[in-house]
């Protein structure tokens, strides 16, 4: 690790050599378990400072207790969401909307978008989601006794649903998935190039829908109004980019981690196969055990928080994979218990920025597991192969080769 400067206001005893990007198990690692790797933080301070815990190597305070993460995520006045993560890769400073807006502007756009991803909307999409899952899995089952489940199922399944939201066909699915991978896991050379490509795509799609409206998400956005006015080009761009980035990786990664767990734990696999009514509760436990997102906030003022002297401008990390392994919150947090009840996990965040797409994501995960287990015999990770896991702002998995021969 390069040695990054620690701000003068951070006590030396609160500094820890830790990063969601570079800790053991965090880099692209064969058979790595990044979720277990981060659980070690609960043996130490409730909050500590890491000089390395972002993609660009900037330091963050790391909040380890779930209850403290909730306090941070619910206090938008003290801990701002405005970071321009995507735009900063381009040297620009506009927000992804509504993720990087603070109240009251956040509430205005959240109210606009909520109906598009409501529980009712998710239920209405269920027949389409299930039909897609069945078609993909039947094709896999007919073609042999093994597959690369991320390439053959998880990404084509989840990204197809996202493309339908945008009103697009599957023709460029592989290209879009590649863009998502490079944005989230690529190096500093690839990211700005891909970010510019994605931005041009979103702008082009918005312009097309203004000229030729259809019944899709982007048409809704370019025709929408907030507070009695049309959305600006920057606002349309901010919403479009957020949907694009969020739709390309997180749910597919969740399904991948879930199937990797079941491939290694055949008793749990058989339990869900023989009693599919357990899958809904089991999916919540797998969301708890294998969440994918780290959320970063920026302090808007000086504050002493649980003994940490956080100062204005400091980054504060609320990683779902840390909160979900909190022993104060969950009994035996590193044990996967598919019958766990009262599962108050943090996979979709807390507070005003709780994941807008959580209802649809849940249905995709449950349907994906239901149809996979109903159509594929007992499966394992193929001998001689090893899944590759990633740390980062979004955890990921690839090269997950499942075999049922």
d(CA 19, CA 34): 11
* Mean pLDDT calculated for residue range 109-137: 93
d(CA 337, CA 333): 9
Q: What are the tens digits of pLDDT across the range 254-271?
A: 999 999 999 999 999 999
Is the pLDDT reported for residue 223 higher than 90?
yes
Length of the chain: 405
pLDDT band at 212 (very low <50, low <70, confident <90, very high): very high
The reported pTM is: 0.92
pLDDT band at 27 (very low <50, low <70, confident <90, very high): low
Averaged pLDDT of the chain? 90
In this prediction, residue 22 carries a pLDDT of: 56
pLDDT band at 252 (very low <50, low <70, confident <90, very high): very high
Q: Residue ranges of the domains in the chain?
A: 83-289+330-403
d(CA 50, CA 231): 39
pLDDT band at 30 (very low <50, low <70, confident <90, very high): low
Report the DSSP pairing between strands 29-30 and 388-390: antiparallel
d(CA 303, CA 323): 21
Q: Which of 185-189, 236-240, 362-366 has the lowest mean pLDDT?
A: 185-189
In this prediction, residue 154 carries a pLDDT of: 94
- Looking at domain 83-289+330-403, its CATH architecture is Orthogonal Bundle (1.10)
Which of 263, 213, 304 has its CA nearest to residue 399? Answer: 263
- Who has greater pLDDT, 128 or 83? 128
């Amino acid at each position: 690790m390069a040695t990054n400067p620690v701000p003068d206001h951070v006590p030396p005893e609160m500094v820890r050599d830790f990063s969601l990007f570079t800790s053991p198990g965090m880099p692209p690692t064969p058979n790595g378990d990044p979720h277990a790797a981060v659980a070690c933080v609960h043996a130490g301070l409730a909050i500590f400072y890491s000089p390395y815990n972002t993609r660009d190597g900037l330091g963050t305070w790391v909040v380890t207790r779930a209850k403290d993460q909730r306090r941070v995520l619910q206090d938008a006045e003290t801990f701002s969401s405005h970071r321009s993560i995507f735009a900063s890769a381009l040297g620009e400073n506009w927000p992804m909307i509504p993720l990087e807006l603070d109240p009251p502007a956040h509430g205005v756009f959240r109210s606009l978008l909520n109906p598009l991803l409501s529980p009712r909307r998710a239920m209405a999409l269920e027949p389409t989601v299930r039909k897609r899952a069945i078609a993909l899995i039947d094709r896999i089952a007919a073609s042999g006794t093994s597959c690369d489940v991320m390439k053959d199922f998880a990404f084509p399944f989840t990204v197809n649903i996202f493309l339908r939201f945008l009103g697009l066909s599957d023709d460029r699915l592989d290209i879009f998935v590649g863009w998502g991978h490079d944005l989230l896991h690529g190096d500093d050379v690839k990211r700005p190039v891909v970010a510019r490509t994605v931005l041009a795509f979103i702008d082009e799609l918005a312009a097309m829908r203004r000229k030729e409206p259809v019944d899709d998400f982007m048409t809704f956005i370019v025709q929408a109004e907030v507070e009695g006015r049309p959305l600006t080009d920057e606002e349309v761009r901010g919403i479009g980019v957020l949907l694009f980035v969020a739709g390309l990786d997180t749910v597919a990664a969740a399904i991948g981690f879930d199937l990797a767990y079941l491939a290694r734990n055949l008793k749990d696999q058989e339990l869900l196969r023989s009693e599919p009514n357990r899958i809904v509760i089991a999916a919540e436990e797998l969301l708890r055990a294998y969440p994918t997102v780290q959320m970063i906030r920026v302090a808007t003022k000086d504050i002493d928080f649980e003994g940490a002297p956080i100062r204005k401008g400091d980054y504060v990390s609320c990683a779902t994979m840390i909160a979900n392994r909190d022993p104060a919150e969950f009994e035996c947090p590193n044990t996967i218990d598919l019958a766990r009840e009262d599962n108050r996990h943090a996979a979709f965040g807390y507070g005003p920025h709780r994941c807008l797409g959580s209802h649809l994501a849940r249905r995709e995960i449950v349907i994906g597991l239901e149809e996979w287990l109903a159509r594929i015999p007992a499966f394992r990770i193929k001998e001689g192969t090893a899944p590759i896991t990633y740390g980062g702002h979004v955890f990921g998995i690839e090269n997950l080769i499942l075999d049922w021969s």
